[in-house]
Amino acid sequence: MAVKLDGKKLSIKLTNDLQVETKTLKNQGIIPKLAVILVGDDPASRVYVRNKHRMAEKIGIESLDLRLAKDTSEAELLEKIALLNNDPTINGILVQLPLPDQINADRITKTISPKKDVDGFHPYNLGRLFVNDPYAIPCTPNGIMYLLREYGISVDRKNVVIVGRSKIVGRPLAALMLNQNATVTVAHSHTKNLSEITRQADILVAAVGRVNFIQAQDVKPGAIVIDVGINRNAAGKLVGDVEQTEVGQVAGYLTPVPGGVGPMTIAMLMKQTIEFAKWSKQEK
């Protein structure tokens, strides 16, 4: 039976540590502040934004909640971001995705100041990550690396297979793994003989957004399996990209869904906001 990589438990510990750090910073006159912009009324996005504000409040981070109508123009959103970029009290800016069709998400990402880009999606920050000089790191990959470290799992000399090549998870995670001396294969929808490749992985990461995409026969016995997927199955239950029951009989370690990678993502968002606040003070 696989050992559960409990992101929920670890995120609680990290949250407690961040509460202490935030209190210390406030005593020094440093008040971390995060601005979150939600365009439209997507139900899932509303839940994600609410959870982020609740976590910020719990830790002691000030949060600015900006809600914009679904028909907001790209120009209007860019204007809001420009104001936040120039506001010295704002340390982090997050625009909740997905955005309505009339708004180009890439253009929005590039407009956020790299020094306030808590998501770590700006090309400048992704470039720094790939040359092993990171500033902001995408929160889900950062959370995965933190989770592995806390469980004493080194990626050095490991064969890592990441299924999924998004700018949010797959690509930045590959860079983080390479920076720590792993041998990395990034697989995707055009990869041939995928199961043969995944069975070679010491660490297998599934980030494709498809219910139970990874089955037991795709996993090397004893492998460390990271399930990044957040999906709803036919019954409406929250499940990942990994078939948890049977894979749990084969893998050595496995992140559950829910309670694995998800809680770490929000915790790392808060941690990065605090880091930005400290760096901003140092630069003055």
Catalytic positions are: 52, 96, 119
Does 230 appear as a known binding residue? yes
Q: To 10 degrees, the CA torsion angle through 70, 105, 185, 230? A: -10
If you write DSSP's letter for every residue of 30-56 in order, what string do you get? Answer: ---EEEEEEES--HHHHHHHHHHHHHH
Neighbours of 75 (CB within 10 A): 8
Does 170 appear as a known binding residue? no
95 backbone φψ class: left, alpha, beta (φ>0; ψ -120 to 50): beta
Name the nearest CA neighbour of 137 among 151, 127, 150, 147.
127
Q: How far apart are CA 277 and CA 96, in angstroms?
A: 21
Does 73 appear as a known binding residue? no
Name the nearest CA neighbour of 44 among 238, 221, 183.
238
Does 164 appear as a known binding residue? yes
Q: How far apart are CA 216 and CA 133, in angstroms?
A: 37
> Which residue numbers belong to the known binding site?
164-166, 230
> Which residue numbers belong to the known binding site for NADP(+)?
164-166, 230
